[in-house]
Amino acid sequence: MRAVQVSEYVKGPLDLKVTDVPTPTPATDKYLIEIHSAGTNFFDILQIQGKYQHQPPLPWIGGAEFAGTITAIPISSKNPRFKVGDRVFGATQGAYATHVLAPEHTLLPVPAGWSFEDAAGLFVTAPTSYGGLVHRAGVKAGDWVLVHAAAGGVGLAAVQIAKAMGATVVATAGTERKRQIAREFGADYVVDYGNRDWPEEVKKLCKEKRSGNGAAGVDIVYDPVGMIEASLKCVAWNARLLVIGFAAGKIEKVALNRVLLKNVSLVGLHWGQYAKFETGTVGDVWNGIFDLVAQGKFRGTAFKDESFVGLESVPKALQALGGRETWGKVVVNVVGNEKAKSRL
């Protein structure tokens, strides 16, 4: 098979090469999958440089998220969930390849009517945002939710989930194109958080459009960037501020007196650890997401302004992602655009 194999750490994505490696053979406890599309993540860029928390022993194949077709079931499985030919998506090491082996708990069925391209970006973003907003922050109809970096991978998922739950969404993003995308995915209001006074803008909006406690600010902040400190300026009594990530590169320190004075909660979420500490919630979260998909309230967020076709385009795709030039999920269509975009 062909794969983006890392034999030594590289300086950046453009140093990656596609090589021929042996195709995995059917395994006792894993499915063999032909990959149609692979999702990119910022941590892939860290991993190829040797800077990520999870570094397999060299050599290894890059990439984590994928969607494709089952070509062999686990040899020892008596009651496999999937059969040969099933369309699945999931995450495991080695997604930048034509084939991958993956255990059953890392796979889910591609939703009806979805392309491989859209499904390849679903496994991480959707449950992070659903778990955060629904299970951790208890979003409900009538809430106002401030979503930072709303055109990013987890951001666009958060916008759709908050809207589906009946909330009003205020979305922040750094460029006009990204604010336009946030609107297309349902945001009610957009704010340029490159402008230093952005919390004032949010406060003004709430004062004009809300009443009672809500006139002071939003009820929930969804923060994958590291904007908690500034967001505390525009929250309502009892607000929940979700700590999702630090895309800006700095881990914030927050003055806790403001948490007390405003009577708010800082709430963390570490989605990857739910599979270890709260397996029941994993199923509930996915049931909730598949319900929204079936109701047409959640759609794929694959970046459409440029196409990345074939494994040779992995370096360019990762370079674009790292350069903050893209929105939604940057997906590489490993088998070509036509096959990866087909919807069943």
Binding site for ligand NAP (CB under 6 A): 42, 124-125, 128, 149, 151-155, 173-174, 178, 224-225, 244-249, 269-272, 321, 324
Least distance (Å) from ligand NAP to the CB of residue 54? 13
Least distance (Å) from ligand NAP to the CB of residue 198? 11
Name the strand (E) or helix (H) holding 130. Answer: helix 125-130
Structure token digits, residue 60? 């290894």
DSSP 48-109: HTT-SS--PSSSEE---EEEEEEEE--TT-SS-SS-TT-EEEEE-S--SBSEEEE-GGGEEE
Residue number, 23 or 175, with CB nearest to ligand NAP: 175
Residue number, 109 or 174, with CB nearest to ligand NAP: 174
Residue 22 to residue 67: CA distance in whole angstroms: 20
Task: Give the list of residues 6+ apart from residue 167 with CB closer than 8 angstroms, or none.
Answer: 139, 140, 141, 142, 143, 144, 145, 219, 220
Residue number, 249 or 296, with CB nearest to ligand NAP: 249
Residue number, 73 or 218, with CB nearest to ligand NAP: 218
Least distance (Å) from ligand NAP to the CB of residue 9? 20
Residue type, 250: K
Angle between helices 153-164 and 176-184 (to 10 degrees): 40
Least distance (Å) from ligand NAP to the CB of residue 233? 18
Residue type, 258: R
Residue 149 to residue 171: CA distance in whole angstroms: 7
Residue 272 to residue 242: CA distance in whole angstroms: 16
Least distance (Å) from ligand NAP to the CB of residue 249? 5
* Side-chain-facing half-sphere of 163: CA atoms under 13 Å: 24
3-class DSSP assignment, residue 261: helix
Least distance (Å) from ligand NAP to the CB of residue 245? 3
Least distance (Å) from ligand NAP to the CB of residue 276? 13
Residue number, 207 or 270, with CB nearest to ligand NAP: 270
Residue number, 269 or 340, with CB nearest to ligand NAP: 269
Residue number, 86 or 325, with CB nearest to ligand NAP: 325
Residue number, 144 or 271, with CB nearest to ligand NAP: 271
Least distance (Å) from ligand NAP to the CB of residue 277? 12
146 to each of 220, 268, 270, how far by Cα in Å? Answer: 6, 16, 20
Of 202, 138, 130, residue with least CA distance to 160:
130
